[in-house]
Structure 1
Amino acid sequence: MTRRMRERLARAGAGDEGSVLLLTLGYALLAIAAVLVCASATDLYLAQKRLDALADAAALAGADGFSLELDGDDVLAELKDRTVREQAAAIVDATGDGAALVSASTPDGVSARVTVRASWHPPVLSLFVPDGVALESTATSRTALR
């Protein structure tokens, strides 16, 4: 190996110092960003599932707010919009987690349909979504006494 080749190799290798550190920092930032996105996505999924469960519970309570009516020898369970709304509102108010009752009614006198709305805010870096994300869930429950 000649002296000139050694000088070229020394100059070429001198520019690589510290590049591994920058690459490591870049991958670390990418990994942290991936963890934050996964945590936010998981929290959003769980918030939607909690809202679904609340809508189910409110619809079930609304379907239990029936009144019994006699039709000859038969006893019929009849739902009314007012009682469905009262029962569903009691369940939604009892949770106290920021959910609001949008609508509660009985489309056919036998089933209760309830819609609940809430707002989700990311657990980390919420300044990117300051108003939050609107979530809504609708559930229907049918009374068993028909």
Structure 2
Amino acid sequence: MRTVRRCIREEEGTILPLVLGYALLALAAVFVCVCATDLYLAQKRLDGLADAAALAGADGFTLVVEDGEPRAELTSAGVREQASALFATASIDAALVYATTPDGVSARVVAAAVWHPPVVSLFVPEGVPLQATATSRTALR
């Protein structure tokens, strides 16, 4: 019985470093999860902005009448103008890489941004480049 009491007295306080180590590990995991969630949301916001710009660019058509038939025609300048106007009013910090029409019926927009972590952490990089591509077709053919 005496040896059990002596072992208990000698082992006092040794759990504190273990608890502190696990607490630091848990905090690091929380920081990484917060940063990963923020990165995911930043990519989704950029995707939404690119989709909206492509949709606006597809609406920037000119109506052309050939042989008595009306036809919607897109130009790269028209797509770029509409997409630039949308990017100018956007609430997120993103850049219009290019906006063009590959076939005269579709509008393709590429947007780029740089994500910065909301919480400074050793496990998360300083900035991550993001890019989103969206394509939209005109409603009139």
**1:90 to 2:80 alignment:** no
| 2:129 matched residue in structure 1 | 134
**Structure 2 contact 72–105 (Cα < 8 Å) conserved:** yes
Measure the CA separation in 2 of the matches of 1:20 and 1:12: 14
Q: 3-state SS of the aligned residue for 2:77?
A: helix
Q: Which stretches in structure 2 are left out of the alignment for 5+ residues?
A: none
Matching residue within 83, 95, 104 for 1:100:
95
Amino acid at match of 1:129: P
**Structure 2 contact 31–121 (Cα < 8 Å) conserved:** no
The 1:105–1:126 alpha-carbon spacing in structure 2 relative to 1, beyond 3 Å, is farther
Report Cα offsets for 1:65-105 as digits up to 9, x if no partner.
00000011210000000010010011111114220000100
Structure whose CA Rg is larger: 1
**1:78 to 2:88 alignment:** no
Matching residue within 17, 22, 39 for 2:12:
17
Normalized against structure 2, the TM-score is what? 0.92
**1:26 to 2:36 alignment:** no
**1:47 to 2:42 alignment:** yes
Write out the 4+ residue segments of structure 1 that deviate beyond 4 Å after TM superposition.
Answer: none
Measure the CA separation in 2 of the matches of 1:32 and 1:82: 50
Q: Which stretches in structure 1 are left out of the alignment for 5+ residues?
A: none
Normalized against structure 1, the TM-score is what? 0.89
**1:68 to 2:63 alignment:** yes
Q: 3-state SS of the aligned residue for 1:17?
A: coil
Aligned-residue offset at 1:9:
3.8
CA RMSD of aligned residues (A): 1.6
Q: 3-state SS of the aligned residue for 1:140?
A: strand
Aligned-residue offset at 1:25:
1.4
Aligned-residue offset at 1:54:
0.2
Report Cα offsets for 1:2-51 as digits up to 9, x if no partner.
xxxx3x44443333111122222122111111111110000000000000
Determine which structure has the larger helix proportion and give its number.
1
Identity in percent: 63
Measure the CA separation in 1 of the matches of 2:112 and 2:65: 37
Measure the CA separation in 1 of the matches of 2:60 and 2:135: 14
Measure the CA separation in 2 of the matches of 1:113 and 1:133: 23
